[in-house]
Structures are given as C-alpha cells and as structure tokens.
Amino acid sequence: QSLYGYRAIDAGLVLGPGALMITLLAPIGARLVQKGIVHPRILLGCSLVGVAASMWYYSTFNLATNYGHYALARVFQGLGYAFFFVPLNVVAYSELRPDQNNRASSLTNLFRNWGGSFGIAFITTMSERRFDYHQSVVSAAVPQTSGLLEQRVRALTTFLVHHGFSVGDARGAALANVYHQLGNQAHMLAYMDCFRVLGWVTLAVAPLTFFIRRFRARSVCLVSSRRATRPK
C-alpha cells in the first residue's frame, strides 16, 4: 500500500483472489483426506512446495508490477495454503485419543501463535536491515556528480518552476522527490529479499513431511466429524 499508493479497498482486491482460492479448494482437500484418496503428508508436502514457489514469484516483482500480477501471485499462494490447514490438523490429531484433543489443541495454538509472532518479528527486522543495506548500495551507485542525476533534478526543477514554485523551493522539492524514489527502490529490494528468505525456509521445511508416520487418515477424519456433530 505504501509503495504503490493503494487504498484499503485496493489492497483488499489484491488479497481477495487468494482468499477465494482457499475458500473454494479447502473443502476439496478435506474430502480427499477423508476419502483416503491422498495421504495428508503428500498434500502437506505439495502445499509447502507451492507456497515456496509463490514466494519466489513474489521476489521477481518491481515498482512497475501491476495489479494483475499481484492478484495472480495471491491466487498462486492460496493454491498452496488451500491444501495445507486441513491435512495439518489431521496429522496433529492422528496419534491422539479423543480425551487428549483439548490439550493438543492448546499446544498447537501455542506454537502457531509463537511461530507467527517470531516470523513477524524476524521479517520486520530483516526488512529494515536490508533496506539500510540497499539504500547504501543504491546511493553509492548514484553519486552526486552523476550526469543522469543532475539531469533528472534539473528536469523536475524546471517542471515545478513552471507550476509556480520558486527556483530554490523547486530544486529542494526535486531533490526530495529523487530521494523518495531511491527510498522506494530500496524498500522494494528489501521486501524481495524477505520473500526469497520465506521461499527458502518453506522449501527447507517441505522434506520434513516425509518423516510423518503412516496412519489411517480416514478414521481420524471420521472421529473428528462425529465429535463435531455430537450433541452437547
């Protein structure tokens, strides 16, 4: 939103297609697990690979990327998450007795919240540090004696003077505009680095699904559905 000047509704339109994809495909994933057509660990592995691929797709964007590419990336990401949450819950409760479900739910929610908090803190810190790095690199690549920089500042100054600015104010505003563009480029590069890290981490976690024990996923789903429909 800050880099592209999106309103809240514009951001919602970007996020909406991915949420719609999850809404449509999550019941299909649940049915595949319940019918025993696909084992949960296979769905988990495929979903993690899909999410990692979507993060790599995100990392190729730039400030000229339009709405369509972002919406498509969200659909791609939603395609991975759609087959993630149901198999994950099935795996979490697969080896438990019914009387252990409450404690297991507490633990899974604890680790889910802890992981989310750690991830947000890590990515926020990383984005700020990468911003400082890219800002220094981009600034070093554009010295004050650069002819292109001076040409850009002169053109902006002339434009602002023609629109009522004084020469001094116009040059100051032109320099501020160039610095703002440099900051946007540095922020964008920092975000792309974060997406690459998320892609690598997600891909590194995917092989862990092969260590999940084999179990009868159908019976787990049936027990869960009976507990959900049991009158209280």
| pLDDT (tens digit per residue) in 157-207 | 887 887 777 877 787 888 788 888 888 889 999 999 999 999 999 999 999
Checking phi first, is residue 66 left (phi over 0); if not, alpha (psi -120 to 50) or beta?
beta
DSSP single-letter state for residue 214 = P
The pTM of the full predicted model, rounded to 2 decimals, is 0.76
Give alpha helix (H) positions in 40-100. 40-58, 67-81, 85-92
Read off the pLDDT of residues 95-139 as tens digits, 9 standing for 90 and up: 778 888 888 888 888 988 999 999 999 999 999 999 999 988 887
Confidence category of residue 140, pLDDT binned at 50, 70, 90: confident
Q: How far apart are CA 230 and CA 232, in angstroms?
A: 6
Q: How many CB atoms lie within 10 A of CB 54?
A: 25
Nearest partner of 220 among 100, 130, 125, judged by Cα = 100
